[in-house]
Structure 1
Amino acid sequence: MEVLSAFDWGLALTIALFAGVVKGSVGFALPLIMISGLSSFLDPRLSLAGILVSVLATNGWQVTRQGWGPARDAARLHWRYLLIVMVAIFLAAQLVMQIPRQWFYFILGIPVVGLSLVQLMGLRLTIPPSRRVVAEWGIGLVSGILGGLAGTWGPTTVLYLLAIETPKARQMVVQGVIYGAGSIILVLAHLRSGILNSETFWFSAALLPPALIGMAIGFRLQDRMDQDLFKKVTLLVLIVAGVNLIRKGLLG
């Protein structure tokens, strides 16, 4: 693992804190913010390893915060989406080590910018009940591939839940279940791929405390602030981060 300076450590911990605040507030985007921020000054593979422990722990917290009953109901209702996401994450994760570093920035940056712009513009896709089974398999596959390669499957999942008009309270539970199940597979997959190993694990674990502190703050903000406005600000931050990744890919 590369040796990090004190400045690098401070910046990494700050990014984890901010990512936790956003996730606690809107229920997603921790992987996007962490991978975008960390990749701007660290090797993208180390950045991917860095998010894994925080992704696993924060998603576990999100699932259990509403209780196990709603979580079980969400799993039964969206079992197809859960299944294809987990399978696709595991398979796609095995390709990470074979992707050139420059292309990795594009794989991370383009989805971040594109999906954030779609949400920021307020575009809502409506999926009729007759096509929801096909949509679950298709969108779940795309989400899983992004999850395996870039460590994030949140934006596509949010777009899907909005498209089937999921009520806000249930959406938070469903997101937690989908992210929680996917994060377990993601960690197992990258133990196998070598991204998460005896060296990178400690870097990943060090980012967990600020992520949890940030998430606790975010939960309070979720109850007190205008969530729609906060989400728009978050999406603007994601767009800036994604553009920076694409810039790095273009410049090599």
Structure 2
Amino acid sequence: MRVSVVAATFVVAGFVKGVTGMGLPTVAMGVLGTLMLPAQAAAILLLPSFVTNVWQLFAGPSVRALVKRLWLMMAGIVAGTVAAASFIAGGGGQWAVAGLGAALTLYAVAGLMAWRLSVPARHEHWLSPAIGALTGLVTGGTGVFVVPAVPYLQGLALKKEDLVQALGLSFTVSTIALAIGLAREHAFAVGDLGESLFAVVPALIGMGIGQRVRGSISPETFRRWFFICLLGLGIQLLARIFV
């Protein structure tokens, strides 16, 4: 039963990523977080997230330029994630579930409200490490990589292709940092890679399907229903703390 649920979850999560360029860890954590502890869900998503994000990162020509521009943000992500990993690894208990629910709810509301940041270039040198560190704290506490990294990167006025690559870079670094943090807290070891490795195949299948149908789906309609589903998952996880 668990194997089929994990496989189905990653097909759906991969499909979302194939259509939108993001969302695999968010969907996977949201669904699996209703069935198991966030640390267990985070350990399963490590390899699918890494493989699909590396694929996305190197799908264009601007990797070196993006790394040079965003390295302070990436350093902040690593530091914040490793520092906060003890929370998702067990120290937070039920509050880690609530934190995951809050992160999903906030991200869904921001998406449904179409909030858009505008980041002046003169502030990027200090905002990047701050946003990175905050994203890392959220990642280490909940396993969700998107808040506030995605709104910030969208606010940098990058070209579409560069934005997709920048998201791939951010998510790849977040995945590696989360693996380091979980291993440091003894919540993840090399021997635990079996289930995560199994999840790579359905994630790639879903991502391939999503990329093929991307042009035939209305992006706005898809995004709206994506955020509505995330909102429902987030509220459900938040409600569990009161049950």
User: Smaller-chain TM-score range?
Assistant: over 0.9
Aligned counterpart in structure 1 of residue 212 of structure 2, from 220, 223, 231 = 220
Other-structure match for 2:79: 87
- TM-score (normalizing by structure 1): 0.89
1:51 is aligned with what amino acid?
L
What's the CA shift for 1:179?
Answer: 1.3
Q: Does 1:124 align with 2:121?
A: no
Q: Deviations over 1:127-177 (max 9, x none)?
A: 222222222122111111111222222242220022222222210011111
Equivalenced residues, count: 243
Contact residue 48 and residue 195 of structure 1 kept, 8 A: no
Contact residue 21 and residue 218 of structure 1 kept, 8 A: yes
Q: How does 1:226-237 map to 2 (within 5 A)?
A: 226-237=218-229
Contact residue 88 and residue 144 of structure 1 kept, 8 A: yes
Contact residue 88 and residue 148 of structure 1 kept, 8 A: yes
What's the CA shift for 1:187?
Answer: 1.6
Aligned counterpart in structure 2 of residue 185 of structure 1, from 177, 182, 197 = 177
Name structure 2 gaps, 5 residues minimum: none
Other-structure match for 2:32: 38
1:188 is aligned with what amino acid?
I
Contact residue 19 and residue 214 of structure 1 kept, 8 A: yes
* Identity over aligned pairs, percent: 23
Contact residue 44 and residue 101 of structure 1 kept, 8 A: no
Q: Deviations over 1:87-137 (max 9, x none)?
A: 211222134334242111111000110121012111212222222222212
Distance 1:243 1:185, change over 3 A: same
Other-structure match for 1:22: 16
Structure 1: how far apart are the matches of 2:189 and 2:78?
A: 21
Distance 1:138 1:29, change over 3 A: same
- TM-score (normalizing by structure 2): 0.92
Q: Does 1:156 align with 2:158?
A: no
Structure 2: how far apart are the matches of 1:45 and 1:95?
A: 9
Other-structure match for 1:211: 203
Other-structure match for 1:3: none
Structure 2: how far apart are the matches of 1:45 and 1:185?
A: 14
Contact residue 7 and residue 202 of structure 2 kept, 8 A: yes
Contact residue 89 and residue 145 of structure 1 kept, 8 A: yes
What's the CA shift for 1:45?
Answer: 2.3
Structure 1: how far apart are the matches of 2:126 and 2:172?
A: 23
What's the CA shift for 1:19?
Answer: 0.4
The runs of 4+ residues in structure 1 deviating greater than 3 Å are none
What's the CA shift for 1:201?
Answer: 2.4
Tell me the secondary structure at the aligned position of residue 154 of structure 1: coil
Other-structure match for 1:55: 49
1:221 is aligned with what amino acid?
V
